[in-house]
Structure formats: C-alpha cells, structure tokens
C-alpha cells in the first residue's frame, strides 16, 4: 500500500511512520536540515528505532562542525543508537527505510511531504539494496566528544556551578534564531571566567575531553581578552610561572546570569 504524508516537520513523519514499530531505521542521503532534525529527535526520545545514516561526507562535515549537534550525535553513537557512514553517490530522494516501510521525503518550505509504502516485496528490495550499501560504506570519523561526557567531566574537574553555567550558555546559543559567534571553546572560557577558574584548569580539561587543544584555548583567551570580554589575574604557585585566573572583564557582564552573559557577549562579538 502507498500513502501520502504531509507533516509539519521530520519528527512528525517519524511519529506517523516509524515511532514504536521498527527496531531499525536506515536513513539514505539526508539533507543537512534532516540530519539535524533526526539527531535532535533521537537525542530527546527513547521510542525511535536505532538509526543507520548513510549521508554525503560534505553534508556530514557541515552539520557536525556545529558542536551542539555533533556532541549530541556523539552521545547517540556511543549508545549504539546512531551509526554514521559515508554515501558514495547521491540517490534520487531522501529515504527513510525500515524492515516494514519505505518513506521518500520532499521538503516543501515549512512542511514535509512524504510518500510511504509498506508493500512487502518493494520494502524488502529497497531495505536490502541500501542495507548492503550501508554495510560496504566507510564509517564517518566523528571527533567531537559526547555531550554527556563533556558535562560529567566538567562537573567533576572544574565544578558543578561551571557546568550549570555551561549548560545555560549552550541552551541560550542553541535557541538563537540567527546562530551565535560563540563556539565551544569560547563558551568554556566564558563560563570559566564567570566562575574564576584557572586558565590552566579549563584548557587542560578541554584538551583531555577532546574539545580543543590547549593552544586553541590560549588563542581564544587572547582574542576574548583583547576585546575586553574576559580578564586575567596572576596566581602565584610554589614552583614555576604564575598561573592565570580567568575573570569576566567588561562591566556589562558583571552580575548577569549565564544565559544573559551569552546574549551580551554574542552582541559584542557580532
């Protein structure tokens, strides 16, 4: 049987076609917007099938350059809920394929049109063909650390208050309609400065967890310091050069909540 679906977004298509029914879902040649929607849906729910995603390498790279999306995807990969592989050749339509159903997606502005079929012979052929292609494809090397590990290690090594501010800033920039000039390194330094953390401690944590190298943290610190966003003070130690304690610099940032700091800094960087 073939049916048409017209839904507001990808998640509604998942609900209409796959939620709670199949244990496997093969996603073939998704767009960047579809990848983001699927990652967000899978990260926030536990009733969706495990996803095997076969996508163009350039599309994966563009999407997963975003720390928020990539760190959620890394969590899903670690949990076995997502497997990312590289598509060699584009297909005619974005396909969502399970053992029981095939759905071809067409985005239409603010709606998603989908042509669905549950014909046993057709579904078996499509699932088998693209399943074989997935098995033969190279795994996409996702280097971003899982967001759960980032949060856990920050709380343990830097402090719970800093971790709470980190989450608040990520939520603030994640909901911004026009994006943000703050990347994951700048966010880490900003919440560290809000909580008077040593540069050595936050940069060592960031390198150990896989966010960026100490050198990248140092360069970003210098850029934010030059802009007056953060400041540093020397902290003497028993042996060696004094270490630097990070502090918020601009008086506009003093006494603000973390999400307000994020909004203010984003405007300063724009």
Most confident of the ranges 92-101, 177-186, 188-197, 249-258: 188-197
Whether 69 and 195 map to the same domain: the answer is: no
Domain closes at, from 104, 136, 168: 136
Whether 178 and 98 map to the same domain: the answer is: no
141 lies in some domain: no
Whether 152 and 41 map to the same domain: the answer is: no
CA 201 to CA 205: how far, in whole Å? 6
Structure confidence at residue 178 (pLDDT) = 45
What range defines the domain where residue 71 resides? 2-136
Give residue for tokens 């940032």.
253
Whether 90 and 172 map to the same domain: the answer is: no
Whether 124 and 209 map to the same domain: the answer is: no
Structure confidence at residue 177 (pLDDT) = 45
CA 35 to CA 145: how far, in whole Å? 18
CA 135 to CA 198: how far, in whole Å? 47
CATH number, position 96: 3.30.870.10
The arithmetic mean of pLDDT across residues 28-51, rounded, is: 91
212 lies in some domain: yes
Determine contact, residues 148/237, Cβ cutoff 8 Å: no
Domain closes at, from 90, 107, 136: 136
Whether 17 and 94 map to the same domain: the answer is: yes
Structure confidence at residue 48 (pLDDT) = 85
Give residue for tokens 């402090």.
159
142 lies in some domain: no
Structure confidence at residue 180 (pLDDT) = 60
**Is the pLDDT assigned to residue 116 strictly greater than 70?**
yes
**Is the pLDDT assigned to residue 18 strictly greater than 80?**
no
CATH number, position 212: 1.10.10
Give the predicted TM-score (pTM) of the model.
0.88
Q: Tens of pLDDT along 238-264? A: 777 789 999 999 888 988 999 899 888
What value does the mean pLDDT of the chain take?
A: 89
Structure confidence at residue 237 (pLDDT) = 78
Structure confidence at residue 87 (pLDDT) = 94
The tally of domains found in the chain comes to 2
Buried residues in 16-40 as b, exposed as e (16+ CB within 10 A): ebbbeebeebbbbbbbbebbbbbbb
Structure confidence at residue 148 (pLDDT) = 96
40 lies in some domain: yes
Determine contact, residues 259/212, Cβ cutoff 8 Å: no
The arithmetic mean of pLDDT across residues 154-176, rounded, is: 90
């Amino acid at each position: 049987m073939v049916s048409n679906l017209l839904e507001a977004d990808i998640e509604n298509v998942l609900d209409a076609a796959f939620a709670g029914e199949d244990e496997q879902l093969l996603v073939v040649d998704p767009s960047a917007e579809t990848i983001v929607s699927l990652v967000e849906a899978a990260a926030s729910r536990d009733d969706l099938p495990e996803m095997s995603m076969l996508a163009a390498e350039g599309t994966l790279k563009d999407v997963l350059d975003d720390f928020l999306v990539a760190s959620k995807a890394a969590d899903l990969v670690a949990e076995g809920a997502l497997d990312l592989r590289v598509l060699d050749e584009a297909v005619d339509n974005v396909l969502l394929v399970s053992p029981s159903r095939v759905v071809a997606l067409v985005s239409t502005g603010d709606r998603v049109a989908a042509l669905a079929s549950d014909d046993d012979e057709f579904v078996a052929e499509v699932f088998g063909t693209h399943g074989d292609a997935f098995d033969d494809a190279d795994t996409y090397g996702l280097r971003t650390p899982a967001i759960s590990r980032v949060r856990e290690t920050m709380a343990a090594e830097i402090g719970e208050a800093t971790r709470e501010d980190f989450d608040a800033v990520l939520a603030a920039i994640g909901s911004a309609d026009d994006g943000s000039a703050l990347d994951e390194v700048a966010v880490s330094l900003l919440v560290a400065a809000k909580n008077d953390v040593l540069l050595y401690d936050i940069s060592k944590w960031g390198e150990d967890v896989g966010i960026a190298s100490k050198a990248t943290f140092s360069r970003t610190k210098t850029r934010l310091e030059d802009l007056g966003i953060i400041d540093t003070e020397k902290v003497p130690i028993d042996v060696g050069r004094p270490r630097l304690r990070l502090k918020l610099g601009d008086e506009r940032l003093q006494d603000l909540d973390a999400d307000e700091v994020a909004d203010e800094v984003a405007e300063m960087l724009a």
